[in-house]
C-alpha cells in the first residue's frame, strides 16, 4: 500500500491540495480553483500570515455576507473598493484604438431590475424630489454604426442628497429609476434632477477597511445606464458630472476619461437647469443581463 502524501512543511501543502482538486470534471472550474488556491497559498507564505490575521480576514468575509441585505450589497461593494469590479469590466470590455464601442463601467450595488417604463421626456424624479432640473438626451448606435430603433435605456441615480431610493424611506419606490425606449432614429430623452456625489455605505466591514486605509468614501456625482438591444451586448456604464470634486479619487475606481460627461449649466424660465448629451455605441454579441445586486 502506497503511503499517503502528507505535508511536512508549509511549502509542501500546496501540491497536495492541488492534487485533491485535480479530478474536477469541469475544466474552467478546475483551472480557476487551482489558480486561486495557488495565489492564496503564496500570499500566506510570502506574508507569513499570522493566526490573528487569518481570523481577521475570515471575520471580514463573514461580515460582508452578513451586511448584505435588500438595501445594499456589501460583497459587490468590497469588489468595488478593491478595484476588482472595474478590473473585470475593463478586461471583458476592451476598447481598441479607433473603436466606437462605448466604455463599460461598474454595475454598482444599487441596480434594480424592472424599472418603470417611461415615455420620451418623462421625468424619473418622482414624489416631489427637489433639485436642479436635468435633461439628458442622446442616440444609441448599433455595431454597424447605425442608430438603433427600439433600444432600451435603463437609468438609475442617487438623489440630490446622495441616497438611492432603496436607502431612503422618504423617497417613493423606484424613484430616480426609469426604462426608456429609443425612437425610430435611436434617440432617447429623459428628465431628472442633477445627481449628487455620495459616500459608499460605511456602516459595514467595507467602511471599516476604508477608514483603516485613510480613504474617503465619496463617489463623484454620476448617472448609471444599462443599454440593450437584441443582437448586441448589454452595455453597463456610468456618466460622471465633470464638475465633481472626487473624479480623481473615486473609492470604486470607476472613473475613466470617456465616462466624464459635460453637464452644461443654464437656466430656463429663471430656474437653474443642467443639460447633458451622451451617445451610446453597442457592440455585437449576446444580450445578457446581470443578476440584480438588490431586489
Tens digit of each residue's pLDDT (9 = 90 or more) over 143-179: 899 999 999 999 999 999 889 998 889 999 999 999 9
Q: What pLDDT band is residue 100 in, cutting at 50, 70 and 90?
A: very low
- Residue 66: CB atoms within 10 Å: 11
Reported pTM = 0.82
Q: What pLDDT band is residue 102 in, cutting at 50, 70 and 90?
A: low
How far apart, in whole angstroms, are the C-alpha atoms of residue 225 and residue 220?
A: 15
Closest CA to 149 of 120, 121, 178: 120
How far apart, in whole angstroms, are the C-alpha atoms of residue 186 and residue 279?
A: 10
How would you classify the pairing of strands 235-241 and 152-157? unpaired
Domain residue ranges of the chain, discontinuous segments joined by +: 12-49, 66-281
Phi, psi of 15 (to 5 degrees): -60, -35
Which residues 6+ apart lie within 8 Å of 189 measured at CB? 120, 121, 135, 136, 137, 180
> Grid cell 438626451 — which residue?
137
Q: What is the reported pLDDT for 97?
A: 43
Q: What pLDDT band is residue 58 in, cutting at 50, 70 and 90?
A: very high
Q: Mind listing the pLDDT tens digit for each residue in 180-212?
A: 999 999 999 999 999 989 889 899 999 999 999
Work out the average pLDDT over 97-122. 79
CATH topology of domain 66-281: Protocatechuate 3,4-Dioxygenase, subunit A (2.60.130)
Amino acid at each position: 500500500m502506497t503511503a499517503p502524501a502528507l505535508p511536512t512543511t508549509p511549502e509542501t501543502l500546496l501540491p497536495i491540495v492541488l492534487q485533491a482538486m485535480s479530478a474536477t470534471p469541469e475544466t474552467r472550474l478546475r483551472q480557476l480553483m487551482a489558480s486561486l488556491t495557488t495565489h492564496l497559498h503564496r500570499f500566506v507564505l510570502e506574508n507569513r500570515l499570522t493566526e490573528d490575521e487569518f481570523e481577521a480576514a475570515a471575520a471580514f468575509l463573514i461580515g460582508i455576507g452578513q451586511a448584505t441585505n435588500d438595501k445594499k450589497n456589501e460583497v459587490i461593494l468590497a469588489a468595488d473598493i478593491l478595484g476588482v469590479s472595474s478590473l473585470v469590466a475593463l478586461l471583458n470590455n476592451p476598447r481598441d484604438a479607433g473603436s466606437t464601442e462605448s466604455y463599460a463601467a461598474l454595475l454598482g450595488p444599487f441596480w434594480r431590475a424592472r424599472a418603470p417604463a417611461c415615455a420620451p421626456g418623462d421625468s424619473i424624479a418622482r414624489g416631489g424630489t427637489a433639485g436642479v432640473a436635468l435633461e439628458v438626451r442622446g442616440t444609441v448606435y448599433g455595431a454597424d454604426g447605425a442608430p438603433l430603433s427600439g433600444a432600451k435605456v435603463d437609468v438609475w441615480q442617487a438623489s440630490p442628497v446622495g441616497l438611492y431610493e432603496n436607502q431612503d424611506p422618504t423617497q417613493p419606490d423606484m424613484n430616480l429609476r426609469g426604462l426608456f425606449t429609443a425612437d425610430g432614429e435611436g434617440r432617447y430623452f429623459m428628465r431628472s434632477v442633477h445627481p449628487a456625489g455620495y459616500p459608499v455605505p460605511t456602516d459595514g466591514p467595507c467602511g471599516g477597511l476604508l477608514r483603516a486605509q485613510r480613504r474617503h468614501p465619496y463617489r463623484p456625482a454620476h448617472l448609471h445606464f444599462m443599454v440593450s438591444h437584441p443582437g448586441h451586448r448589454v452595455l453597463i456604464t456610468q456618466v460622471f458630472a465633470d464638475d465633481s470634486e472626487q473624479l480623481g479619487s473615486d473609492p470604486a475606481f470607476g472613473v475613466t476619461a470617456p465616462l466624464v460627461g459635460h453637464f452644461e449649466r443654464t437656466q430656463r424660465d429663471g430656474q437653474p437647469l443642467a443639460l447633458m448629451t451622451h451617445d451610446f455605441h453597442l457592440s455585437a454579441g449576446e444580450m445578457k443581463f446581470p443578476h440584480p445586486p438588490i431586489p
